[in-house]
Amino acid sequence: MGSEFRRLNFNFFPNDVKDQMEWTGDAIVLAARKHGERSAVVQLLTRTYGRHAGLMRGATGKRNRGVAEPGNLVAASWKARLSDHLGMLALEPMHQTAAGLMAAPRRLAGLASACAIAEMALPEREPHSALYDATLALFSVMEDHPGEEAIWPAAYVRWELGLLTELGFGLDLDTCAATGVRDDLIYVSPRSARAVSAAAGEPFKDRLLPLPGFLIERGPADAQAVTDGLVLTRYFLQRHVFDAVNKMVPAARDRLTNLLVDDK
Amino acid sequence: MAAPEIEHLIRLLTRLPGLGPRSARRLALHLMRHRAQLLDPLAAALTEAGRVLTECGTCGNIDTRNPCVVCTDPERDAGLICIVEDVADLWAMERSGAYRGCYHVLGGTLSALDGKGPEELKIPILVSRARESAREVVLATSATVAGQTTAHYITELLAKAQVTVTQIAHGVPVGGELDYLDDGTLMAAMKARHKV
């Protein structure tokens, strides 16, 4: 009965992205791992197909050098004999984000961190179109605002909050978890992931996480607020996303934090 | 089909870069046909290399002595350290003849997935070496996100050690035509433009 039901469901959604054996579309390169002498297993983030891997032949050859770099926007074409195979990828560069950020240590660290987190945190072949758009927007902010202390670190914190929301672990920052008030929210409860007001949180302030004002549109995104934001999102990423798979937040993320904290 | 010893030889040759089973078979056959001129000297050379090869404790180069010939060459500028990812990169620099300083071979780039952190890349050794004897450190890591992330990480550490850090240029290769260059290379070249 159960298997029949599944089969019925399967037929009911003939265009399920997981059952496709071929697709073409824009994608962001998240990572590329060398496979053999010239090939690489490339991880992409696509709007329709989510995080998707494929084998790219000649990835390290002269013609494709620099295409499969994290952060690059590419036109991808994937093909496999069966839908659950790794499949073959062909990539055409559309915009080489990484090349433009290589001389900027902090922004490059931001790009590397976002790609590493997306690669490790997102389930494979599950569409997250909002996160795809948010990632494009984040990279665009990084490129368009070259000042190292400009607005991109705040955009990065918002991107991580968005990632948590996409994965079903969004933070509730609208009202106080204890009193229901909407004003003076300055803490986040590490247990409930909800905002806590200054008055309600006072007795437990050592155990609460600071809530930076810019995340609720009530304060500037200065260096301290960005650092608080990074601490906040790191805590929930580790607890909800990486602890579940027995992993630590990627080293690239901690390097970004160290660089931004050093600037304070 | 062939004797087990020959099959074993073919299997080992298959594991060399660029060789598949068919090429390995051809190589093995060629070696066996030219036993006196090729097979025996090659076997002796491999045995000898396996016996004497060692990693330089100072720079990470692979040589037959420790410290290596580069580190002990009195004509080299010991105050200049070039950081490369791999021994192949060191050989490429040496081939160019453009550099007469010493090296530090990282053995890769910072990568959590490959389990390579600062310790694995011998970065603490590099920092203490730079503090003691370096006047300038030249970063020659690859122009990739991983290579440049590693370069920036080293720069931060060396800035604290008050050492001058420079980096090799990225951009248009000699003989390269702009029309055939990718956008990323052109972008890097434009950013690294200098006054003439």
**In chain B, ranges of CATH 3.40.1360.10 domains:** 62-163
Helix, coil or strand: residue A31:
strand
Topology given in CATH for the domain delimited by B62-163: Dna Topoisomerase Vi A Subunit; Chain: A, domain 2 (3.40.1360)
CA of A29, closest CA in chain B: separation in Å? 12
Mean pLDDT within A26-44: 92
pLDDT at A183 over 60: yes
Helix (H) or strand (E) holding B6: helix B4-14
**In chain A, ranges of CATH 2.40.50.140 domains:** 15-99
The CATH architecture that domain B4-52 belongs to is Orthogonal Bundle (1.10)
Residue identified by tokens 């003939």 is A14
Residue of chain A minimizing CA distance to B15: A36
Residue of chain B minimizing CA distance to A104: B152
- Contact check, Cβ <8 Å, A105/B18: no
Give, in order, the Cα–Cα distances in Å from B92 to each of A95, A130, B68, B96, B175.
Answer: 30, 45, 17, 6, 18
Contacts of B185 in chain A (CB under 8 A): 66, 99
pLDDT at B184 over 90: no
Tens digit of each residue's pLDDT (9 = 90 or more) over B51-104? 999 999 999 999 999 999 999 999 999 999 999 999 999 999 999 999 999 999
Among A175, A88, A98, residue whose Cα is nearest residue A139: A98
Q: Is the ipTM of this complex over 0.90?
A: no
CB-closest option in B149, B152, B188 to A99: B188
Q: Which CATH class is domain A15-99?
A: mainly beta
A-B Cβ pairs (cutoff 8 Å, strict): 70
Tell me which residues of chain B, numbers 143 to 182, contact chain A at a CB-CB cutoff of 8 Å: 143-146, 148-149, 152-153, 155-156, 170, 182
**In chain A, ranges of CATH 1.20.1440.120 domains:** 105-262
C-alpha span between A79 and A85 (Å, rounded)? 9
Q: Which CATH class is domain A105-262?
A: mainly alpha
Q: Given pLDDT bands bounded at 50, 70 and 90, which one contains residue A5?
A: very low
